[in-house]
A and B are shown apart, each in its own frame.
Chain A
Amino acid sequence: MIQKMKQTAQVTNRHRALGLTDQDVLSMYENMLKARRVDERLWLLNRAGKIPFVVSCQGQEAAQVGAAFGLNRDKDYVAPYYRDYGFVFAWGMTIREMMLNNFAKAEDPNSGGRQMPGHFGYRKLRMLSHSSPVTTQNPHAVGIALAAKIKGDDIVSFVTFGEGSSNQGDFHEAANFAAVHKLPVIFMCENNHYAISVSLKKQVACAHISDRAIGYGMYGESFDGNDPLAAYAAVKKAADRAHRGEGPTLLEANGYRLMPHTSDDNDMTYRSKEEVDEAKKHDGVVTFAEYLRAIHVLTEDVEREMEERIRKEIDAATNDAEKAPFAEPDSVLHYVYEEKN
């Protein structure tokens, strides 16, 4: 599954055929890099005792960003899960907002510091709020699609979740409902091969998560989760099917979780360093940069400038978020119910 992209002159341009410009793929890469660099900074902040918790996206950025580019970023509704840093950046969240979220400050647009980091939700961006019990967002995404159908609106509803989550009842109930009513939903499983410590083989007996699609009477497809172009193509195709009234699609991004489950986990208790090192060879952030260099889109100057721009933005955002106030303690009683003025 995993494409090896070598830095040679023979590398052919793969994005043009997908209708993507050089600017598009650079923008994809920048979002992937943003997610990676923010994630790295969060671990430093955590180890320095500045933030209590990190849930990591590393290894999954390629699929996340490619998927976002395959959707209509002005119209579609999305329900990203807690590792989707790459997705939410590509969807319009700023680094400052992400830092406010991780520092749990009042200005965090996701929850004002109420939820743990990575529990995204941003109405302005048509991004549903999600919780910690996994896969509860899948039926919500189906409800969005049903509501759009009732209203006659031509949109796509996109939802992500892990392969461990694909064992939950809500995954099944949502997929079946969407298929029966031919709703415009894209279910994208980010298969990172671990549900905390339990490996894929102990999670499912099928060869591919996308194999489950046939049981629901929907189209299913797996792709290389380290390749943003593969993600883009698969999601774009699924969105086109949805717009044509052909119903939902189950996609599976084959990837790997490079970091422990969270900052509270020690992954060396259940997997080997060799295994992680091997996966790093296929890391999408690295391999996509190699591709872009090989086709002379990512020049040394562009790359340096990009790294610099991201670093400055992260520095400023971290500084801002650290100084920003927490919500007032009294606010703990607010918004239990609608507050009428």
Chain B
Amino acid sequence: MSVRSYIEAITMALDEEMDRDQNVFVLGEDVGKRGGVFQATKGLYEKYGELRVMDTPLAESAIAGVGIGASLYGLRPVAEMQFSDFMLPAANQIISEAAKMRYRSNNDWSAPLTIRAPFGGGVHGGLYHSQSMEAIFANIPGLKIVIPSTPYDAKGLLKASIRDNDPVLFFEHKRAYRLLKGEVPETDYVVPLGKADVKREGTDVTVITYGLMVHHVLNAAQRLAEQGISTHVLDLRTIYPLDKESIISAAQKTGKVLLVTEDTKEGSVLSEVAAIIAENCLFELDAPIKRVAAPDAPAMPYAGPLEQAFMVKPEQIEQAIQDLAEF
């Protein structure tokens, strides 16, 4: 066991899977010699060579589409989109092709590729290096979407994604890369897809969230515990398809639900979480479902104060939990 950063956990997962299975290979922009702009593929080019750690032309649809083709041949490609904001040119390949390959061929073909993409704000990234893209892909049956919140989960979920026989979008919070550190076993373990995880047990208020927001919520819960408020925290981990059972039982646990995302509010993944709760356990709620999210503005601006104004802040989360506790 050793303490690793979130990005080191990603690199470990890639390295272990490439070592374990000759069919696993990485492709993307700057993933080779440079080791990725965030260094997620650091050292892999030297270890596995340029065919298995392939620098591609700057063309996202080809990165996804060529990855799909290689997966049809029986390989397990891990395609990197340099920033999730840049993956929209690949959206047709992801939505019309990868997600529908198994279905449209009546189970004859499948596309077991993983697409990794850094997302999220708070890094002075401006409109196009800060977005949360998950909601765009979160009503596409055939796709799985994974967003880890800790280094431990990042390694285990990435390994599970690579081994999964269907296409997986794997979003990594770029601010989490070096901010979050935690115990990551050197052993070969996987964290199952499709399962949410209770990150903190509590009795007064339930918070359902994912990604970097889990970190902010846990910090808020820690502070509120000193005031006698007990917070239950559910980390979705796989945000599509959702783990409905865990969502329902987490909501039932306290009867007061706060949903937190750094994505813009309307039509976010949490809108679906709210619908699941409303459909299944409305009468067990003691307060209206509350959401904390980014404002419905196109994307976060570059200038510091504007970026701050856009971002979900830890104080907002703390206040919302407190309001619900007192409701």
Contacts and interface: CB of A to CB of B under 8 A. Distances in A.
A282 interface: no
Contacts of A133: 92, 96
A150 interface: yes
Interface in B44-76: 51-52, 54, 56-57, 59, 61-62, 64-75
Contacts of A337: 102, 142, 144, 166
B25 interface: yes
A339 B103 CA distance: 11
A240 interface: no
Interface stretch (A37-45, A61-69, A121-129, A258-266): A121-129
Residue of B59, B64, B89 most packed against chain A (CB within 10 A):
B59
Contacts of B96: 131, 133, 136
Contacts of B131: none
Contacts of A121: 104-105, 108-109
A335 B104 CA distance: 9
A145 B77 CA distance: 14
A90 B191 CA distance: 47
A123 B104 contact: no
B34 to A, nearest CB: 17
A150 B48 CA distance: 12
A338 B110 contact: yes
A110 B66 CA distance: 22
A177 B109 contact: no
Say which size band chain A's interface belongs to. 35 or more
Given A121-B105, A129-B101, A336-B103, A147 B93 contact: no
B81 to A, nearest CB: 14
Given A136-B97, A337-B142, A144 B57 contact: no
A111 interface: yes
B66 A174 contact: yes
Interface string A135-151: 01011111111111111
Contacts of A172: 59
Interface stretch (A112-120, A219-227, A244-252): A112-120
A187 interface: no
A129 B108 CA distance: 9
Interface residues of B, number: 44
Given A131-B96, A336-B142, A338-B165, A147 B57 contact: no
B100 interface: yes
A136 B69 contact: no
A335 to B, nearest CB: 4
Contacts of A142: 62, 65-66, 69
A109 B67 CA distance: 24
B304 interface: no
B227 interface: no
A336 B167 CA distance: 11
A180 B67 CA distance: 16
Nearest to B108: A123
Contacts of B61: 139, 169-170, 173
A131 B104 contact: yes
Interface of A: 77, 108-112, 114-115, 119, 121-123, 128-129, 131, 133, 136, 138-151, 157, 169-170, 172-174, 176-177, 180-181, 334-339
Given A140-B65, A177-B59, A177-B66, 7 more contacts: A111-B108, A123-B109, A128-B69, A129-B105, A139-B64, A139-B69, A180-B57
29 contacts: A77-B73, A111-B105, A111-B106, A123-B105, A128-B69, A128-B72, A129-B105, A131-B96, A136-B65, A136-B93, A139-B61, A139-B66, A140-B72, A143-B65, A143-B67, A143-B72, A143-B77, A145-B69, A147-B70, A147-B72, A148-B73, A150-B25, A150-B75, A157-B69, A170-B92, A174-B62, A177-B59, A177-B66, A338-B166
